[in-house]
């Protein structure tokens, strides 16, 4: 397992992460329903405020209870709309972005490993660290966030993956320092 494995893995993983992008977007909850609910709850509150907090049916001042109920409904509807945006944010900042980045990192490190003049075992270690790190980071994020398999966070966690990626970057830097030779032109 040397640079070639990382290049092949990186391209296939990039295809997977790119293909899952539209799937993730299509599986997002319908936020228009939450927006309509918010509008329906805010309308009476706006009407009450515009009318000086008069009850539209009796034209008498609204009681504190009526105002409190209108406020509570409006706040709950606003909260529901904001909560409906959470999965979209989780996908943009989570598995999709990290998966694409880690796929490209694997391709880049694979190309570097192909030209380094270092020991085979050192190359194999760096190669394996990048692939395993990718699977334990963005792979676990895909399982947990996109496919709703929360057990992946508990069983596999996401802490070791980023550490492995950083370790791989450090080792690739050391390997480049030792194994890249200047060529006379």
The answer to whether residue 85 sits within a structural domain is: yes
For 70, the domain range is: 3-179
The answer to whether residue 167 sits within a structural domain is: yes
The answer to whether residue 53 sits within a structural domain is: yes
Query: Which residues have C-beta within 8 Å of that of residue 53, sequence separation ≥ 6?
Result: 61, 62, 67
Q: What's the pLDDT at 107?
A: 95
Query: Which is higher by pLDDT, 81 or 119?
Result: 119
Q: In the structure, what pLDDT confidence band is assigned to residue 145 with cuts at 50, 70 and 90? A: confident
Q: In the structure, what pLDDT confidence band is assigned to residue 104 with cuts at 50, 70 and 90? A: very high
Query: Which is higher by pLDDT, 88 or 160?
Result: 160
Does this model's pTM top 0.85? My answer is no
The answer to whether residue 185 sits within a structural domain is: no
Q: What's the pLDDT at 82?
A: 61
The answer to whether residue 105 sits within a structural domain is: yes
Q: How many domains does the chain have?
A: 1
The answer to whether residue 16 sits within a structural domain is: yes
Angle between helix 86-93 and 64-84 (nearest 10): 30
Most confident residue range from 16-20, 50-54, 170-174: 170-174
Q: What's the pLDDT at 171?
A: 96
pLDDT over 90 percentage in the chain: 32
Query: Which residues have C-beta within 8 Å of that of residue 173, sequence separation ≥ 6?
Result: none
The answer to whether residue 119 sits within a structural domain is: yes
The answer to whether residue 146 sits within a structural domain is: yes
Backbone angles phi, psi at 178, to 5 degrees: -85, -35
For residue 185, is pLDDT > 50? no
């Amino acid at each position: 397992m040397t640079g070639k494995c990382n290049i092949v893995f990186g391209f296939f993983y990039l295809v997977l992460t790119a293909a899952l992008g539209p799937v993730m977007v299509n599986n997002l909850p319908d936020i228009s329903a939450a927006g309509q609910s918010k509008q329906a709850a805010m309308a009476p509150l706006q009407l009450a405020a515009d009318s000086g907090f008069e009850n539209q049916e009796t034209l008498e001042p609204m009681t504190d209870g009526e105002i409190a109920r209108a406020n509570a409904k409006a706040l709950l509807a606003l909260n529901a709309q904001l909560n409906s945006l959470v999965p979209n944010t989780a996908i943009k900042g989570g598995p999709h972005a990290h998966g694409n980045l880690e796929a490209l990192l694997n391709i880049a490190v694979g190309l570097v490993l192909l030209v380094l003049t270092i020991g085979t075992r050192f190359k194999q270690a760096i190669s394996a660290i990048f692939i395993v790190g990718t699977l334990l980071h963005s792979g676990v994020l895909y399982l947990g966030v996109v496919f709703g398999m929360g057990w992946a966070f508990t069983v596999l966690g996401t802490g070791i993956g980023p550490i492995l990626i950083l370790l791989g970057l450090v080792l690739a830097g050391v390997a480049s320092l030792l194994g890249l030779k200047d060529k006379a032109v």
